[in-house]
Amino acid sequence: MYEEASQVANDAVSSIRTVASFSAEEKVMDLYKKKCEGPLRTGIRTGIISGIGFGVSFFLLFGVYAASFYAGARLVEDRKTTFPKVFRVSTDKFFNFVWLSY
């Protein structure tokens, strides 16, 4: 990703006397910064996409968990099951979802 920027820095350091004798430090720094712009944008874009994916994944995970508890609470309220059974099923769903996501 940063191969070109690394090459510019390596060349500048290896020939530092030549760069200094021509007072080209600013030119080399500007070239280095220019070579870093593309990978920086790519890194930011990748980070945003990864963050959105991570957020959606956890939203779905906890949304399913909440829906499971809501449905279980309705069943407990109607006396069709007990809370320990609802908790056991919800926990199983949670761990299976986590296991499937990896």
Which residues touch 9 (CB under 8 Å, ≥6 apart)? 32
The encoded tokens of residue 46 equal 């990748």
Q: First vs last Cα of the chain: how many Å apart?
A: 27
Tens of pLDDT along 8-62?
Answer: 889 888 988 888 888 889 999 999 999 999 999 999 999 999 999 999 988 988 8
Say what the pLDDT of residue 44 is. Answer: 95
Q: Supply φ then ψ for residue 42, to 5 degrees.
A: -60, -40
Tens of pLDDT along 60-93?
Answer: 888 888 888 899 999 999 999 998 998 888 888 7
| pTM tops 0.85, yes or no | no
Would you kindly state where each structural domain of the chain is located, as residue ranges?
3-101
The span from the CA of 40 to the CA of 49, in Å, is 14
